[in-house]
Amino acid sequence: MSAQPLILGIESTCDETGVALVRGKTLLSNVVATSMDEHARYGGIIPEIASRAHLESFLPVLTQAVEQAGVALDEIDAIACAAGPGLVGSLTVGISAAKALAVAFDKPLYGVNHVIGHLAVDALVDGDFPEEFIGLIVSGGHSNLLHIGNIATDVKELGATLDDAAGEAFDKVGRLIGTPYPGGPHVDRLAAQGDRRAIRFPRGLGAGKDKERYKYDFSFSGLKTAVSRYVKAMEKTGHDINTKDLCAGFSEAVNDSLTAKTVRAAKDYGCSTIVVGGGFSANSRLRELLTERAHAQGVEVRMPPLKFCTDNGAQIAALGSFVVQAGIAPSPRDFGPDSQMSLTKTCM
Ligand code: KG4
Ligand code: ZN
Protein backbone atom coordinates (compact mmCIF):
# COMPACT_ATOMS: atom_id res chain seq x y z
CA MET A 1 0.00 0.00 0.00
CA SER A 2 1.21 3.53 -0.74
CA ALA A 3 2.89 5.67 1.94
CA GLN A 4 -0.04 8.07 1.58
CA PRO A 5 -2.96 5.63 1.62
CA LEU A 6 -6.36 6.84 0.45
CA ILE A 7 -8.80 6.02 3.26
CA LEU A 8 -12.58 6.15 3.32
CA GLY A 9 -13.83 6.82 6.86
CA ILE A 10 -17.36 6.00 8.06
CA GLU A 11 -18.81 7.28 11.33
CA SER A 12 -22.18 6.18 12.76
CA THR A 13 -21.79 5.84 16.54
CA CYS A 14 -24.61 8.10 17.67
CA ASP A 15 -26.70 10.70 15.81
CA GLU A 16 -24.21 11.84 13.14
CA THR A 17 -23.70 10.01 9.85
CA GLY A 18 -20.23 10.99 8.66
CA VAL A 19 -18.18 10.01 5.62
CA ALA A 20 -14.74 11.43 4.83
CA LEU A 21 -11.81 10.79 2.53
CA VAL A 22 -8.24 11.24 3.71
CA ARG A 23 -5.01 10.73 1.74
CA GLY A 24 -2.18 10.17 4.22
CA LYS A 25 -2.84 13.06 6.63
CA THR A 26 -4.58 15.26 4.05
CA LEU A 27 -8.34 15.68 4.31
CA LEU A 28 -10.05 15.54 0.91
CA SER A 29 -13.68 15.70 2.02
CA ASN A 30 -15.79 15.45 5.16
CA VAL A 31 -19.59 15.27 4.96
CA VAL A 32 -21.84 14.96 8.01
CA ALA A 33 -25.62 14.59 8.40
CA THR A 34 -27.20 14.73 11.84
CA SER A 35 -30.52 13.49 13.21
CA MET A 36 -30.27 15.70 16.32
CA ASP A 37 -33.40 17.70 15.38
CA GLU A 38 -35.42 14.48 15.46
CA HIS A 39 -34.25 13.69 19.02
CA ALA A 40 -34.44 17.16 20.53
CA ARG A 41 -38.15 16.99 21.35
CA TYR A 42 -37.58 13.78 23.35
CA GLY A 43 -34.83 15.40 25.44
CA GLY A 44 -32.30 12.69 24.53
CA ILE A 45 -31.10 10.41 21.72
CA ILE A 46 -33.66 7.76 20.73
CA PRO A 47 -31.55 4.85 19.38
CA GLU A 48 -34.13 3.56 16.89
CA ILE A 49 -34.58 7.00 15.35
CA ALA A 50 -30.80 7.34 15.09
CA SER A 51 -30.41 3.94 13.36
CA ARG A 52 -33.11 4.72 10.82
CA ALA A 53 -31.57 8.14 10.12
CA HIS A 54 -28.16 6.52 9.44
CA LEU A 55 -29.78 4.15 6.98
CA GLU A 56 -31.49 7.02 5.17
CA SER A 57 -28.48 9.37 5.18
CA PHE A 58 -25.67 6.97 4.40
CA LEU A 59 -25.78 6.85 0.60
CA PRO A 60 -26.40 10.59 0.10
CA VAL A 61 -23.53 11.41 2.51
CA LEU A 62 -21.20 8.86 0.85
CA THR A 63 -22.01 10.17 -2.64
CA GLN A 64 -21.33 13.76 -1.62
CA ALA A 65 -18.06 12.88 0.15
CA VAL A 66 -16.76 10.92 -2.85
CA GLU A 67 -17.75 13.68 -5.28
CA GLN A 68 -16.15 16.41 -3.19
CA ALA A 69 -12.93 14.43 -2.87
CA GLY A 70 -12.82 13.94 -6.65
CA VAL A 71 -11.89 10.27 -6.37
CA ALA A 72 -13.56 7.06 -7.50
CA LEU A 73 -14.47 4.43 -4.91
CA ASP A 74 -12.31 1.80 -6.59
CA GLU A 75 -9.23 4.03 -6.09
CA ILE A 76 -9.36 3.88 -2.29
CA ASP A 77 -6.75 1.79 -0.47
CA ALA A 78 -8.78 0.91 2.63
CA ILE A 79 -12.04 1.51 4.44
CA ALA A 80 -12.23 2.44 8.13
CA CYS A 81 -15.50 2.46 10.03
CA ALA A 82 -16.34 3.19 13.65
CA ALA A 83 -16.69 -0.16 15.48
CA GLY A 84 -17.42 1.38 18.90
CA PRO A 85 -17.99 2.66 21.49
CA GLY A 86 -21.50 3.83 20.66
CA LEU A 87 -25.08 2.76 20.09
CA VAL A 88 -25.28 -0.81 18.77
CA GLY A 89 -28.02 -0.09 16.22
CA SER A 90 -26.27 3.01 14.87
CA LEU A 91 -22.90 1.26 14.66
CA THR A 92 -24.51 -1.70 12.90
CA VAL A 93 -25.74 0.49 10.04
CA GLY A 94 -22.28 2.01 9.44
CA ILE A 95 -20.45 -1.30 9.79
CA SER A 96 -22.88 -3.06 7.42
CA ALA A 97 -22.42 -0.34 4.83
CA ALA A 98 -18.63 -0.52 5.25
CA LYS A 99 -18.65 -4.31 4.86
CA ALA A 100 -20.77 -4.07 1.72
CA LEU A 101 -18.31 -1.59 0.19
CA ALA A 102 -15.31 -3.69 1.28
CA VAL A 103 -16.73 -6.76 -0.48
CA ALA A 104 -17.98 -4.90 -3.55
CA PHE A 105 -14.65 -3.12 -4.17
CA ASP A 106 -12.41 -5.81 -2.66
CA LYS A 107 -10.81 -3.44 -0.10
CA PRO A 108 -9.38 -4.11 3.38
CA LEU A 109 -11.69 -3.01 6.20
CA TYR A 110 -10.67 -1.67 9.62
CA GLY A 111 -13.19 -1.34 12.46
CA VAL A 112 -11.63 1.45 14.54
CA ASN A 113 -12.22 3.11 17.91
CA HIS A 114 -14.36 6.20 17.52
CA VAL A 115 -13.12 7.82 20.75
CA ILE A 116 -9.45 7.53 19.80
CA GLY A 117 -10.52 9.00 16.46
CA HIS A 118 -11.50 12.19 18.32
CA LEU A 119 -7.76 12.71 18.93
CA ALA A 120 -6.47 11.31 15.61
CA VAL A 121 -8.38 13.97 13.65
CA ASP A 122 -6.17 16.66 15.16
CA ALA A 123 -3.24 15.42 13.05
CA LEU A 124 -5.15 16.47 9.91
CA VAL A 125 -5.26 20.02 11.22
CA ASP A 126 -2.20 20.57 13.40
CA GLY A 127 0.23 18.15 11.75
CA ASP A 128 2.20 15.17 13.03
CA PHE A 129 1.87 14.23 16.68
CA PRO A 130 4.87 14.47 19.00
CA GLU A 131 6.46 11.22 20.20
CA GLU A 132 4.11 11.16 23.19
CA PHE A 133 1.26 13.30 24.43
CA ILE A 134 -1.69 13.45 26.82
CA GLY A 135 -5.13 13.08 25.25
CA LEU A 136 -8.23 14.54 26.88
CA ILE A 137 -11.48 13.26 25.43
CA VAL A 138 -14.60 15.11 26.46
CA SER A 139 -17.96 14.37 24.90
CA GLY A 140 -21.56 13.59 25.74
CA GLY A 141 -20.58 10.02 26.59
CA HIS A 142 -16.88 10.21 27.51
CA SER A 143 -14.46 12.01 29.77
CA ASN A 144 -11.09 10.27 29.53
CA LEU A 145 -7.44 11.01 30.04
CA LEU A 146 -5.04 9.01 27.88
CA HIS A 147 -1.30 8.73 27.47
CA ILE A 148 -0.43 8.19 23.85
CA GLY A 149 2.84 7.05 22.32
CA ASN A 150 1.79 5.88 18.86
CA ILE A 151 -1.92 6.54 18.34
CA ALA A 152 -2.33 3.28 16.38
CA THR A 153 -0.44 0.98 18.72
CA ASP A 154 0.27 2.57 22.09
CA VAL A 155 -2.71 4.09 23.94
CA LYS A 156 -2.92 3.88 27.73
CA GLU A 157 -5.96 4.92 29.71
CA LEU A 158 -4.93 7.03 32.73
CA GLY A 159 -8.38 7.96 33.98
CA ALA A 160 -12.04 8.30 33.17
CA THR A 161 -15.24 9.61 34.63
CA LEU A 162 -16.62 7.40 37.39
CA ASP A 163 -20.17 8.49 36.57
CA ASP A 164 -21.43 11.22 34.20
CA ALA A 165 -19.38 12.56 31.29
CA ALA A 166 -18.75 16.33 31.18
CA GLY A 167 -21.20 16.92 28.30
CA GLU A 168 -23.79 14.71 29.97
CA ALA A 169 -23.51 16.73 33.22
CA PHE A 170 -24.00 19.95 31.24
CA ASP A 171 -27.01 18.44 29.47
CA LYS A 172 -28.54 17.42 32.83
CA VAL A 173 -28.04 20.88 34.31
CA GLY A 174 -29.58 22.29 31.12
CA ARG A 175 -32.64 20.09 31.69
CA LEU A 176 -32.83 21.29 35.30
CA ILE A 177 -32.95 24.95 34.29
CA GLY A 178 -35.16 24.32 31.25
CA THR A 179 -32.86 24.82 28.22
CA PRO A 180 -33.55 22.94 24.98
CA TYR A 181 -31.69 19.64 24.44
CA PRO A 182 -28.73 19.30 24.29
CA GLY A 183 -28.20 21.74 27.14
CA GLY A 184 -24.38 21.91 26.95
CA PRO A 185 -24.02 24.87 24.58
CA HIS A 186 -26.84 26.78 26.34
CA VAL A 187 -25.32 26.27 29.79
CA ASP A 188 -21.94 27.34 28.37
CA ARG A 189 -23.45 30.53 26.91
CA LEU A 190 -25.22 31.41 30.19
CA ALA A 191 -22.08 30.60 32.20
CA ALA A 192 -20.04 33.05 30.12
CA GLN A 193 -22.40 35.84 31.27
CA GLY A 194 -22.36 34.89 34.97
CA ASP A 195 -20.01 35.36 37.91
CA ARG A 196 -18.08 32.14 38.35
CA ARG A 197 -17.25 33.02 41.98
CA ALA A 198 -20.85 33.74 43.07
CA ILE A 199 -21.73 30.12 43.87
CA ARG A 200 -19.05 27.57 44.70
CA PHE A 201 -19.94 23.98 43.84
CA PRO A 202 -17.90 20.93 44.94
CA ARG A 203 -15.09 19.52 42.77
CA GLY A 204 -15.56 15.73 42.50
CA LEU A 205 -12.53 13.67 43.67
CA GLY A 206 -10.63 16.88 44.26
CA ALA A 207 -9.86 16.60 47.96
CA GLY A 208 -8.72 14.24 50.72
CA LYS A 209 -7.78 10.64 49.96
CA ASP A 210 -9.75 10.66 46.69
CA LYS A 211 -7.42 13.32 45.29
CA GLU A 212 -4.52 10.83 45.17
CA ARG A 213 -6.47 7.61 44.70
CA TYR A 214 -8.38 8.99 41.70
CA LYS A 215 -5.79 11.45 40.52
CA TYR A 216 -6.71 11.21 36.84
CA ASP A 217 -10.40 10.31 37.24
CA PHE A 218 -13.44 12.56 37.15
CA SER A 219 -16.79 12.52 38.90
CA PHE A 220 -19.59 14.90 38.04
CA SER A 221 -22.73 13.29 39.49
CA GLY A 222 -22.22 14.74 43.00
CA LEU A 223 -21.83 18.16 41.42
CA LYS A 224 -25.03 17.71 39.43
CA THR A 225 -26.83 16.74 42.68
CA ALA A 226 -25.40 19.82 44.43
CA VAL A 227 -26.78 22.02 41.63
CA SER A 228 -30.17 20.33 41.89
CA ARG A 229 -30.22 20.79 45.68
CA TYR A 230 -29.31 24.44 45.30
CA VAL A 231 -32.17 24.98 42.83
CA LYS A 232 -34.67 23.22 45.13
CA ALA A 233 -33.51 25.18 48.20
CA MET A 234 -33.86 28.48 46.36
CA GLU A 235 -37.31 27.54 45.08
CA LYS A 236 -38.42 26.46 48.56
CA THR A 237 -37.37 29.72 50.14
CA GLY A 238 -38.94 31.74 47.32
CA HIS A 239 -35.64 33.19 46.07
CA ASP A 240 -35.07 33.93 42.39
CA ILE A 241 -32.32 31.85 40.83
CA ASN A 242 -29.63 33.69 38.92
CA THR A 243 -29.20 31.08 36.20
CA LYS A 244 -26.13 32.82 34.77
CA ASP A 245 -24.28 32.63 38.10
CA LEU A 246 -25.55 29.09 38.64
CA CYS A 247 -24.21 27.99 35.23
CA ALA A 248 -20.95 29.88 35.79
CA GLY A 249 -20.34 28.21 39.17
CA PHE A 250 -21.23 24.79 37.76
CA SER A 251 -19.10 25.22 34.64
CA GLU A 252 -16.16 26.35 36.77
CA ALA A 253 -16.40 23.21 38.92
CA VAL A 254 -16.41 20.89 35.87
CA ASN A 255 -13.64 22.73 34.06
CA ASP A 256 -11.48 23.16 37.16
CA SER A 257 -11.41 19.35 37.55
CA LEU A 258 -10.88 18.62 33.85
CA THR A 259 -8.06 21.10 33.38
CA ALA A 260 -6.25 20.55 36.69
CA LYS A 261 -6.07 16.78 36.14
CA THR A 262 -5.10 17.06 32.48
CA VAL A 263 -2.24 19.44 33.19
CA ARG A 264 -1.18 17.28 36.13
CA ALA A 265 -1.03 14.22 33.86
CA ALA A 266 1.10 16.13 31.35
CA LYS A 267 3.53 17.11 34.10
CA ASP A 268 3.60 13.63 35.70
CA TYR A 269 4.32 11.97 32.34
CA GLY A 270 6.75 14.62 31.14
CA CYS A 271 4.58 15.40 28.09
CA SER A 272 4.78 18.86 26.57
CA THR A 273 1.62 18.47 24.46
CA ILE A 274 -2.06 17.98 25.31
CA VAL A 275 -4.53 17.09 22.54
CA VAL A 276 -8.23 17.62 23.22
CA GLY A 277 -11.12 16.00 21.36
CA GLY A 278 -14.88 15.42 21.61
CA GLY A 279 -17.96 17.65 21.40
CA PHE A 280 -17.47 19.20 24.83
CA SER A 281 -14.19 20.73 23.67
CA ALA A 282 -16.47 23.41 22.18
CA ASN A 283 -16.87 24.63 25.78
CA SER A 284 -15.53 28.15 26.00
CA ARG A 285 -14.33 27.93 29.61
CA LEU A 286 -12.56 24.63 28.98
CA ARG A 287 -10.64 26.17 26.09
CA GLU A 288 -9.70 29.24 28.11
CA LEU A 289 -8.76 27.56 31.40
CA LEU A 290 -6.89 24.64 29.86
CA THR A 291 -4.82 26.94 27.66
CA GLU A 292 -4.06 29.22 30.61
CA ARG A 293 -3.04 26.42 32.98
CA ALA A 294 -1.11 24.42 30.38
CA HIS A 295 0.83 27.43 29.12
CA ALA A 296 1.74 28.32 32.72
CA GLN A 297 3.50 24.92 32.80
CA GLY A 298 5.08 25.27 29.36
CA VAL A 299 2.67 22.72 27.86
CA GLU A 300 1.16 23.20 24.39
CA VAL A 301 -2.57 22.56 23.84
CA ARG A 302 -3.86 21.29 20.50
CA MET A 303 -7.61 21.54 19.93
CA PRO A 304 -9.07 20.91 16.50
CA PRO A 305 -11.65 23.40 15.16
CA LEU A 306 -15.21 22.75 16.32
CA LYS A 307 -16.38 21.00 13.14
CA PHE A 308 -13.81 18.26 13.87
CA CYS A 309 -14.75 18.05 17.59
CA THR A 310 -18.30 16.82 17.10
CA ASP A 311 -18.67 13.37 15.54
CA ASN A 312 -17.48 13.19 11.94
CA GLY A 313 -16.03 10.83 9.33
CA ALA A 314 -12.64 12.60 9.25
CA GLN A 315 -11.80 11.30 12.72
CA ILE A 316 -12.42 7.72 11.54
CA ALA A 317 -10.50 8.18 8.29
CA ALA A 318 -7.61 9.83 10.18
CA LEU A 319 -7.34 6.96 12.65
CA GLY A 320 -7.73 4.49 9.75
CA SER A 321 -4.76 6.18 8.07
CA PHE A 322 -2.60 5.79 11.21
CA VAL A 323 -3.66 2.15 11.58
CA VAL A 324 -2.90 1.30 7.94
CA GLN A 325 0.47 3.07 8.10
CA ALA A 326 1.33 1.14 11.30
CA GLY A 327 0.92 -2.07 9.29
CA ILE A 328 -1.93 -3.43 11.41
CA ALA A 329 -3.90 -6.31 9.85
CA PRO A 330 -7.43 -5.58 8.63
CA SER A 331 -10.27 -6.49 11.01
CA PRO A 332 -11.70 -10.00 10.69
CA ARG A 333 -14.64 -10.00 8.31
CA ASP A 334 -17.03 -11.22 11.03
CA PHE A 335 -16.46 -8.35 13.47
CA GLY A 336 -19.48 -6.60 14.92
CA PRO A 337 -20.20 -3.43 16.91
CA ASP A 338 -18.55 -3.13 20.32
CA SER A 339 -20.67 -0.62 22.21
CA GLN A 340 -18.19 -0.61 25.13
CA MET A 341 -15.00 -0.80 23.02
CA SER A 342 -12.00 -0.38 25.33
CA LEU A 343 -9.95 2.78 24.85
CA THR A 344 -6.77 0.74 24.72
CA LYS A 345 -8.07 -1.07 21.64
CA THR A 346 -7.57 1.03 18.52
CA CYS A 347 -8.83 -1.49 15.99
CA MET A 348 -10.91 -4.70 15.98
O1 KG4 B 1 -18.70 14.36 21.01
P2 KG4 B 1 -20.13 14.79 20.87
O3 KG4 B 1 -20.53 15.58 19.66
O4 KG4 B 1 -21.08 13.56 20.92
C5 KG4 B 1 -20.80 12.43 21.66
O6 KG4 B 1 -21.16 12.43 22.85
O7 KG4 B 1 -20.17 11.49 21.08
O8 KG4 B 1 -20.48 15.62 22.21
C9 KG4 B 1 -21.77 16.14 22.45
C10 KG4 B 1 -21.79 16.69 23.86
C11 KG4 B 1 -23.21 17.01 24.33
O12 KG4 B 1 -23.34 16.56 25.66
C13 KG4 B 1 -23.24 18.53 24.24
O14 KG4 B 1 -24.15 19.14 25.12
C15 KG4 B 1 -21.83 18.88 24.61
O16 KG4 B 1 -21.03 17.91 23.96
N17 KG4 B 1 -21.45 20.23 24.18
C18 KG4 B 1 -21.13 21.22 25.03
C19 KG4 B 1 -20.83 22.36 24.26
N20 KG4 B 1 -20.99 22.01 22.94
C21 KG4 B 1 -21.36 20.70 22.91
N22 KG4 B 1 -21.08 21.22 26.37
C23 KG4 B 1 -20.69 22.36 26.96
N24 KG4 B 1 -20.38 23.49 26.30
C25 KG4 B 1 -20.44 23.53 24.94
N26 KG4 B 1 -20.13 24.66 24.29
ZN1 ZN C 1 -17.88 11.25 19.70
β-bridge mates for residue 112, sequence order: 82, 347
Smallest CA-to-CA distance from 296 within 263, 337, 257, 333 is with 263
- Position 278 scores a pLDDT of 93
* Dist CA 279 CA 311 (whole Å): 7
Kindly tell me if the per-residue pLDDT of 210 is higher than 90.
no
Q: Whose CA is nearest to atom 24 of ligand 1?
A: 283
Kindly tell me if the per-residue pLDDT of 282 is higher than 80.
yes
Ligand 1 centroid to residue 71 C-alpha, Å: 32
Ligand 1 centroid to residue 19 C-alpha, Å: 20
Is residue 120 a contact partner of residue 315, using CB atoms and an 8 Å limit?
A: yes
* Dist CA 184 CA 166 (whole Å): 9
SS3 string, 269-304, reads CCCCEEEEECHHHHCHHHHHHHHHHHHHCCCEEECC
pLDDT tens readout for residues 20-67: 999 999 999 999 999 988 898 888 889 999 999 999 999 999 999 999
Write down the mean pLDDT value for the chain. 95
Kindly tell me if the per-residue pLDDT of 1 is higher than 80.
no
pLDDT tens readout for residues 248-276: 999 999 999 999 999 999 999 999 999 99
pTM here is: 0.95
Q: Which residues line ligand 1 (CB under 6 A)?
A: 14, 139-141, 167-168, 170-171, 182, 184-185, 188, 278-280, 282-283, 310-311
Kindly tell me if the per-residue pLDDT of 147 is higher than 90.
yes
Q: Which residue has the higher pLDDT, 212 or 257?
A: 257
The Cα-based distances of 206 to 6, 19, 219, 257 in angstroms read 45, 40, 9, 7
